Structure 1
Amino acid sequence: PQRRFGRVAAVTAVVAAIALVVTGAVIAQGYDTQKSEAVESSVWVTKASGQYARVDTDLKQLSTVRDAEDPSGVVQHGSQGIVFTQGFRQAWDVDPADPKALVEGSAAAASTSSSESSGGSTGASTPSGTRQVLSNGDWAAYLTDAGTVYVQQLSAQGSAGKPVPIDPLQQEQTTKGAEGYVATAVAVGADGTVALYSAKERAVRVYDAARGTWTGDAAKLASPPPA
């Protein structure tokens, strides 16, 4: 995933990376670090062995550790976080005041799940086939196995905070029956700028998520990266 991000960042100047400094002691314990605002003193991280944790960046130590069933990653805006499990198939909202164990069907997870199902003890389903989730600031981008890209505003509430599919060829697909856009890689900026690269087009397209509009035309690459 980092390699894909690097390819897109190398061909477009619209995506800015925000660096997060987490101590070597935390990394040595096997937790995967995530991007977060530099002013945020608590950062959520995940561990492949089945845990997620909160890191106190002021004290440079773990302050909270909870179980998570097959954690895949985490995105964060401010103190709020979403932990992904089951190979990015499920998403759980994390309550910073009372983080729960994220294990499907458990009573502890019932009040934590963002699922709309009656039991509430199962994480909410992510877009079908999600294989990668990237975040920056208030924005997250989902990339599926089929090459579909979804964008989510992390601070939005209710239906406005759900992932929304974006497709630069949607109008052509509707009027001319053209095939949908297939993304190979995606990157997202803190201002909501989303850069998509398609190996089929050998070009980069840019979407302004804050405005809900596409910016310019596809930018063909003279030397596109390998598919």
Structure 2
Amino acid sequence: MQINPQLVTILQRAQSVTVLTGAGVSAESGIPTFRDAQTGMWANFNPEELASPDGFRRNPKLVWEWYAWRRELVQQAQPNPGHLALVELERRMPTFTLITQNVDGLHQRAGSQKVIELHGNIGRVTCSAEGTQIDSWDTTAESVPPRCPHCGAYLRPDVVWFGEMLPRQALQAAWDAAEMCDLFLSVGTSGVVEPAASLPRVARQAGATVAVINLDVQEQNQPPIFSIHARSGEWLPALVRAAWPSQE
């Protein structure tokens, strides 16, 4: 795969790189996107029924079981070459920040160290009343969802649902990373879900070069904006090889 030499030079000279990843990166590991996961019996439900505070209040058992099913899919998946290329990119750069909208934890499993999770992590569980993370609970109880061992409220997945605010600290860290980088890569994300969709614009306004890598973009190969129609699992490793050919 050919990588624009201008973009390679920009990467080689960069002191700070920020990357935003979306569902397209995880899809290459076989993890269905949020709406694609509504198959089989789950196809009968609206997203708001399965991923909202109101839906959880109406039918906590249904929501818990859907996320338990999705968690099994995530556990069976493995990081793909795109994830691994980002690990190498982090190793190479003086300053590197990875921001993800994904909740599967594959970046961490691949080896990425500095990951900002905007939408939480499906592998974690919190108390629906207190918001505290819960690491263990009574597995012998018949309650579905299980109950918080401290207050007795239902437990819930530690993810951001429709109608909820993104974690303030994570969002501020993402904003800071976008404002301070030399190169911003938006990978595998539609670019329509706010506030994450604003991050490339924030980076560009601060003077960074921006590259958008997705299967839904039209090619544009001139700085300061690059639009690359490609799969992340192919393009990201090619970018790393082009910038540091000694890796061959």
TM-score (norm 2): 0.26
Higher relative CO (Cα under 8 Å, sequence separation at least 6) belongs to 2
TM-score (norm 1): 0.27
Higher helix share: 2
- Asked which structure has the greater CA Rg, the reply is 2
Higher strand share: 1
